[in-house]
Amino acid sequence: MQQVNVGLIGGGTVGGGVFRALDRNGDLLAARTGVRIRVHRVAVKAFDEPRKVAIPESMLTTDWRAVVEDSGVDVVAELAGGTTVAREMILTALRLGKPVVTANKALLSAHGEALFAAAAKAGTNLYYEASVAGGIPIIKALRDGFVGNRIPHLYGIVNGTCNYILTRMQQEGAGFDEVLKEAQRLGYAEAEPSLDIDGWDSQHKVGILASLAHGFWVRPDQIHVEGIRGVTPLDIRFAGQLGYTIKLLGVVKSVPDRRSERTGGEAPVVVAVYPALVPNAHVLASVQDAFNAVFVRGDLVGDTLFYGRGAGQDPTASAVLSDLVDAARDWIHQTPRRIPPFVPHASKGRVLPLADAVSRYYVRLAVVDRPGVLARVAAILGRNRIGISSVIQPEGHPGGSVPLILMIHDAPNRSMARALRQMGRLAAVKAPPVVLRVETFA
């Protein structure tokens, strides 16, 4: 039996989970693959920090270089997170020709291109299945399973915290702040929740998915991001009445334009994160709680869904273990030195800013309840050549204003922004319009 020694960087939730998973399922893994994967050394922040998974003290060090540069360490797993030191850790390991496994979506989002170039230069490889959607093997599915497909669109519920909050809000009719507090108490949300609820974590992940679907890295500043702080129980309720569920989606859409149609070349892509209305009949609407799901349309395969736990100690360990097997085989056979690894995001492409694309919309206005208001709103939309597909104006709502809900056909986002500004200036409109996109997956 061949043995491969792994150096873990990080002994917390993810690192501890990988350590325990190798301890528990290492024999199974060895029987299945013919390779014994053994943890050799573990870099931690401090010797005396509390650890749920016990790691023998003899393996611990607080110096990550002592792990990466240890000649006994064949493969490095960077499970510490962060984007500064983590980058240095990974680059150091790659330069030593050691395959690296990482779960670090923030780092890949910011520096993926450079990291893969460094791996190629050093004749080794970088694995990142755990970086998106936890244990769901979506990286392998896009890279290998769908290698023969163009991907017209891909929609992911890739942040478990947001999906948990939106599910609770829907089921309990409760407000965002209240549910966030409950989620924090239960450990579903961080004390500093911005990374999750403002959409940044989804942004990192959707950038990685876009790179796999379209073959080139999309920079974070090319990805439009809206979080879920503005989603209210009222909008969840109205969406429900209209047959929709509100989900935070990561979106990667291929949008043919004049240039791609004229030249037959690749269409530009829209990459974005926003809360959207999803038809209840669509499979993504029924993804609840902290679960993740990625809905992928391939031109050959048609519509597919991958569903599972997007975070947590064991699901993440599942993904890291699968990468460790690939990395271990790379190391044993020195594969990337002899066989150029297939880097699925080495080509070039174009990103279309969301502002230049077309969307469907749900708009909720708070208007004074008097005749003529709808006519004025409709006139603004008409002048901007935007079509209304339906209107709801609930009766008998208490207070000085009533909600007016408009469902808007495909509208150029710039025209829509202009129309919303004009509506906001109407005297009868009492608060800034609430605006959410609607996805039909057509």
Q: Going by DSSP bridges, is the β-strand pair 224-225/2-9 parallel, antiparallel, or unpaired?
A: unpaired
Determine if 103 is a binding residue for a copy of itself (CB under 8 A): no
Residues 285-304 that bind a copy of itself (CB under 8 A): 286, 298-304
Nearer to a copy of itself, 146 or 176 (CB): 146
b or e along 276-313 (b: 16 or more beta carbons within 10 Å of the residue's beta carbon)?
bbbeeebebbebbebbbbbbbbbeeeeebebbbbbbbb
Q: Which of 98, 105, 205, 247 is catalytic?
A: 205
Least Å from the CB of residue 362 to a copy of itself: 24
The question of whether 205 is a catalytic residue gets the answer: yes
Amino acid at the residue 23: D
The candidate with the shortest Cα–Cα distance to 10, out of 328, 313, 330, is 313
Residues 120-149 that bind a copy of itself (CB under 8 A): 129, 134-137, 140-141, 144-149
Least Å from the CB of residue 94 to a copy of itself: 21
Q: Which stretch binds a copy of itself (CB under 8 A): 89-97, 106-114, 318-326, 422-430?
A: 318-326
The candidate with the shortest Cα–Cα distance to 138, out of 34, 196, 211, is 211
Determine if 398 is a binding residue for a copy of itself (CB under 8 A): no
Least Å from the CB of residue 426 to a copy of itself: 42
Report the length, in residues, of the chain: 442
Residues 319-348 that bind a copy of itself (CB under 8 A): 319, 321-322, 324-326, 329, 332-333, 335, 338-340, 342, 344, 347
Burial class (CB in 10 A: 0-12, 13-18, 19+), 356: middle
For the CA atoms of the chain, what is the radius of gyration? 24
Burial class (CB in 10 A: 0-12, 13-18, 19+), 18: buried
Q: Contacting a copy of itself (CB under 8 A), which of 318, 359, 384, 413?
A: 318
- Count of residues touching a copy of itself (by CB under 8 A): 58
Least Å from the CB of residue 96 to a copy of itself: 22
Least Å from the CB of residue 251 to a copy of itself: 19
Residues 231-250 that bind a copy of itself (CB under 8 A): none
One-character DSSP codes across 251-301? EEEE---HHHHHH--PPPEEEEEEEEEEETTSGGGG--TTEEEEEEEETTT
71 CB contacts (<8 Å, ≥6 apart)? none
In angstroms, the CA 379 to CA 383 distance is: 6
Nearer to a copy of itself, 267 or 423 (CB): 267
Least Å from the CB of residue 216 to a copy of itself: 11
Amino acid at the residue 145: G
Least Å from the CB of residue 336 to a copy of itself: 11
Residues 27-56 that bind a copy of itself (CB under 8 A): 28-29, 31-34
Per the CB < 8 A criterion, the answer to whether 400 and 352 are in contact is no
Nearer to a copy of itself, 252 or 377 (CB): 252
Binding site for a copy of itself (CB under 8 A): 21, 25, 28-29, 31-34, 129, 134-137, 140-141, 144-150, 215, 283, 286, 298-309, 312, 314-315, 317-319, 321-322, 324-326, 329, 332-333, 335, 338-340, 342, 344, 347
Active site residues: 205
